[in-house]
A and B are shown apart, each in its own frame.
Chain A
């Protein structure tokens, strides 16, 4: 396997859905290619950093307006039915 092929298979590799044979080839390449190891590792960390980031808080006033709008819709609906 060469470096370009590693990049093409990167998403499947990181998602753990790569066929066993291809995964072994890829890991053998990683064992001898530092550049690819860094790309794989830093891409994995990129995903982790986004996944672990604090969720955007839902401000109370925004939530209140949503629930008021929905309540209004419920009321209108129940009047028409």
Chain B
């Protein structure tokens, strides 16, 4: 699929105009669809890795998401960004993988009734640049581990909002929950991650 040089394509299609690329792809322009793939493949792979915590699953998620997007391109109405639509497909694929692995543990409809009163249990400052206590590889391992410990209902919302930078409203659409539920899950996800990172980053932690 390397016949089309993305740089060459950029000269004919305005690079930042996603809508134009989508229209061209809809009209059967394979190079335009490939440009969309080039643009988002890394992000979709990262999202798949972060949700499934498994490289093979992440590869399947990415491949299936792009193939489904291509197959269903005609159904894409353009009322949301192409990237948001693609993320929705990828999130569904990733959650299906998790459900297959742990069928009774993954539900995004789970009501949130438990009140988290543990916020003030561990209050310790981390200092100005706590991440500098660790080498990059070690830090990546810590982040992968703590995000993997998070329940999927919190993990997905945190990843979409805080890592992918998708808006609260778009996250609600993608996950199929209300804006209020996104906010509530995001709060809990952030607090849980803070608590999990506390043992690595607190000032008193010796290396």
A39 touches B42 (CB 8 A): no
Q: A10-B187, A56-B45, A70-B70 are in contact. List 13 more A-B contacts (CB 8 A).
A: A3-B120, A34-B123, A38-B124, A39-B123, A53-B139, A56-B42, A56-B50, A58-B45, A63-B41, A65-B63, A67-B37, A69-B67, A70-B37
Count residues of chain A with CB under 8 A from any CB of chain B: 41
Binding site for A on B (CB under 8 A): 1-2, 28, 30, 33-34, 37, 41-42, 45-46, 49-50, 55, 59, 62-63, 66-67, 70-71, 119-120, 123-126, 130-131, 136, 139-140, 143, 147, 158, 162-163, 183, 186-187, 190-191, 193-194, 197-198, 201
Cβ–Cβ < 8 Å partners of B130 in chain A: 45, 49
Q: Are A42 and B125 in contact (CB under 8 A)?
A: yes
Q: In whole Å, how far is B166's beta carbon from the nearest beta carbon of chain A?
A: 13
Contact A70 B163 (CB under 8 A): no
28 contacts between A and B (CB under 8 A): A8-B187, A35-B123, A38-B124, A38-B125, A39-B120, A42-B125, A42-B126, A42-B197, A42-B198, A43-B190, A45-B201, A46-B194, A49-B197, A54-B136, A54-B140, A56-B50, A57-B42, A58-B41, A58-B46, A62-B59, A65-B59, A67-B37, A70-B37, A70-B70, A74-B70, A77-B28, A78-B28, A78-B30
| Alpha-carbon distance between A63 and B8 when the two chains are bound, in angstroms | 20
Interface of B, secondary structure class, is helix
Taken together as a complex, chains A and B put the C-alpha atoms of A35 and B190 apart, in Å, by 17
In contact, A70 and B34 (Cβ under 8 angstroms): yes
A39 closest partner in B (C-beta): B119
Taking a contact as CB atoms closer than 8 A, the residue among A8, A45, A73 that contacts B67 in the complex is A73
Task: Assess the A56–B49 pair: CB atoms within 8 A.
Answer: yes
The answer on a CB contact under 8 Å between B190 and A47 is yes
Give every chain B residue within 8 A of A11 (Cβ-Cβ).
183, 186-187, 190
| Known interface pairs A10-B187, A73-B67; A42-B194 also in contact (CB < 8 Å) | yes
Within 8 A of B (CB), among A57-81: 57-58, 62-63, 65-71, 73-74, 77-78, 81
